[in-house]
Structure 1
């Protein structure tokens, strides 16, 4: 098994030839935050294969963002790569405006950008670190949703990325888990608020997945990485999470709003 720089985790797999697009998102205009790597990149590639025009927001990993751009274009559709900080209201407004300027509207927003940092105890969490978690994970979701909803019409969809940690907690990721709990409540409340307008809002709660965000554990506690496996016996790959986003974004989920899809290898059963 090939390894990336994060020991004990497999190299992320974003899409494979077994996934056949069927036009579920043909002509849809999509914006994905954190689309340069991990789950965001996998979602971008899968949505492109389903016929969507895909824009991604990345923070600083320009090379990875360009890899995602090439992967989108390889699916014979249009790509837009936007550099920005989702913790900035102005950057979020500008990213949505860039999509409107390019394609005339926005049909699907995927709020996926995330930040996590482990701590041995609450006393180690600084004020700045606490704010950083909520700025990226929660405030960014608010800023992007607010900006996008100004342009969304009936039939549009928002899909948020929460986490299994919102439901079970994580002693090493307390600030991160707190933001993910906030995301779940935000998702349900926003779904109720926009139900009458025909705009659906749902979320995906991944379990342990081989992504770059797990690099934070390499110096903190490698045993966490070594033991990071679901009951199914392994960690997941981004390509295994992305189809849940396709379902929630497409007309297949026209009767689904305010819901959570758990994709976690059996860590939560029947929730």
Structure 2
């Protein structure tokens, strides 16, 4: 097999399959699921793993791996397993968040260039994204110690109490707590771009350019030492609309599940209803039904 260029170090090496959303998130999703997980692009298809691409060499994969483990142990598992709401962060947290958004941004730029008419990407937006990807890559390679003009924000999708009438049928708790995704989006009118990554309700927004009326409270992870609390978070941004887009997309795909697949799900519940009643899926379903 010919060696290919690593997306990060740009050296020609054997590439490995790299997860876009970290493997520890996918592993936890599978562990806490009742039955198989499904691909939301094709909800009738059962999948065993998350999205992967040949993009990094072994050395770059190993570089990212250490930061993933630290985030998993300091943020992800304490929040998921122990309901911890306060987190201390440092430069390593910022590095990890950069690595996650960079992977999506890199792949999305390739897709935008190839299918720019489909996505409606204008030249100005594309140039901004390419410049941000370069800045992030140089930071991740430790060529530079800072990234100018990029903000990382973590929003914890906690339990909802009061929502708009249309929300309950969209099943927001199941959608975000039982879902994973990562992609780049933009608003040409506001000249704003960002990457969103949902890690089972821990939602990362990486902002590349934002509008004049943006307001974020108790969400930002700076390139330094600080504390983040999973409460009293406020987002007034075009990014908030993307949460609605995810809900709408998930509802649309759920409606496309075939009768055959629905029967399989029901049959599995009938086999062990007690296990289902104790599952995280049922817990989130109860929260969603409680919104009605």
TM range, smaller chain? under 0.3
TM-score norm. by structure 1 comes to 0.26
Larger Rg: 2
Indicate the structure with greater strand content. 2
